[in-house]
């Protein structure tokens, strides 16, 4: 067992974990931050995406102990300080970029990562960036549209509907 301390969504947290405990399990089970989801066991689906020290990471692929001392943000920390939806979250709602909601936290975290690196991504860049995030519900159309809209681009002409 190891004692770990990290910042999660701006708050300092600590806990005692086994060496084999994954970051996602620490978040979900110890911290009860159940917004981060587990959709696979081969690091393919991206439902578990969080940011560790500003970089998007699949939290099913990282040990909790590796995040000792890190600054972690999860879906629970994405809304604005007044509780209103962030620009990305609001765009997902506006453009119906989610259905069952299970992939959604990972999609929002992946989108935030993309827009930090590329303020105005093209359709192809968005699709490429989502390579590690699987959604079974939306067919991706409205997710891509929402992310482009969140970057301030006019999406009204993107596709005939």
Partner 1 sequence: MPKDSGIGASSKRREDVRFLTGQGQYTDDINIHGQTYVHFVRSDVAHGKINSIDTSAAEAMPGVVRIFTGADFEGIGGLPCGWQVTDRHGEAMKEPAHPVLAQGKVRHVGDPIAAVIAESLEQARDAGEALNIDIEELPAVVDMKAALSEGSATVHDDLGDNLCYDWGFVEENKGAVDEAIKNAAHVTTLELVNNRLVANPMEPRVAVGDYNRANDESTLYTTSQNPHVIRLLMGAFVLGIPEHKLRVVAPDVGGGFGTKIFHYAEEAFCTFAARQINRPVKWTASRSEAFISDAHGRDHVTKIELALDADNNFTAVRTETLANMGAYLSTFAPSVPTWLHGTLMAGNYKTPLIYVNVKAVFTNTVPVDAYRGAGRPEATYQLERVIDKAARELGVDPIALRRQNFITEFPYATPVAVEYDTGNYVATMDKLEEIADISGFEARRKASEANGKLRGLGVNCYIEACGIAPSNLVGQLGARAGLYDAATVRVNATGSISVMVGAHSHGQGHETAFPQVVAEMLGIDESMIEIVHGDSSKIPFGMGTYGSRSIAVCGSAMVRATEKIINKAKKIASHLLEASEADIELKDGQFTVAGTDKSCAWGDVTLAAYVPHNYPLDNIEPGLEETAFYDPSNFTYPSGAYACEVEVDPDTGKVTVERFSAADDFGNIINPMIVTGQVHGGLAQGIGQALMENCAYDENGQLLSASYMDYAMPRASDVPFYAVDHSCQTPCTHNPLGVKGCGEAGAIGSPPSVVNAVVDALQSAGHNVTHIDMPVSPSRVWAAMNS
Residues within the interface to partner 1 (CB under 8 A)? 18, 20, 28-29, 32-42, 44-45, 47, 74-76, 78-79, 85, 89, 92-94, 96, 98-105, 108, 123-124, 126-128, 130-131, 133-145, 158-161
Contact letters for ligand FES, residues 81-120 (x by CB under 6 A): -----------------xxxxxxx----------------
Q: How far, in Å, CA of 105 to CA of 90, rounded?
A: 13
- The 3-class secondary structure across 97-119, one letter per residue, is CCCCCCCHHHHHHHHHHHHHHCC
Question: For tokens 């990972």, what's the residue?
Answer: 106
Q: Which residues does 73 contact at the CB level (< 8 Å), separation at least 6?
A: 8, 9, 10, 50, 51
User: Which residue, 32 or 69, has its beta carbon nearer to partner 1?
Assistant: 32
Q: Which of 4, 48, 56, 67 binds ligand FES (CB under 6 A)?
A: 48
């Amino acid at each position: 067992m190891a004692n770990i301390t990290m910042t999660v969504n701006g708050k300092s947290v600590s806990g005692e974990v086994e060496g084999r405990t994954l970051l996602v399990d620490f978040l979900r089970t110890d911290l009860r931050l159940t917004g981060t989801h587990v959709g696979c066991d081969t690091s393919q689906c991206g439902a578990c995406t969080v940011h560790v020290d500003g970089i998007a990471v699949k939290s099913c692929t990282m040990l909790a102990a590796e995040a000792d001392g890190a600054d972690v943000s999860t879906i629970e920390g994405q809304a604005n300080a007044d509780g209103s939806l962030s620009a990305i979250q609001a765009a997902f709602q506006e453009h119906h970029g989610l259905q069952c909601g299970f992939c959604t936290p990972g999609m929002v975290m992946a989108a935030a990562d993309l827009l930090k690196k590329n303020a105005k991504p093209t359709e192809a860049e968005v699709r490429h960036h989502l390579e590690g995030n699987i959604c079974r519900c939306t067919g991706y159309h409205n997710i891509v549209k929402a992310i482009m809209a969140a970057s301030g681009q006019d999406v009204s002409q993107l596709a005939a509907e």
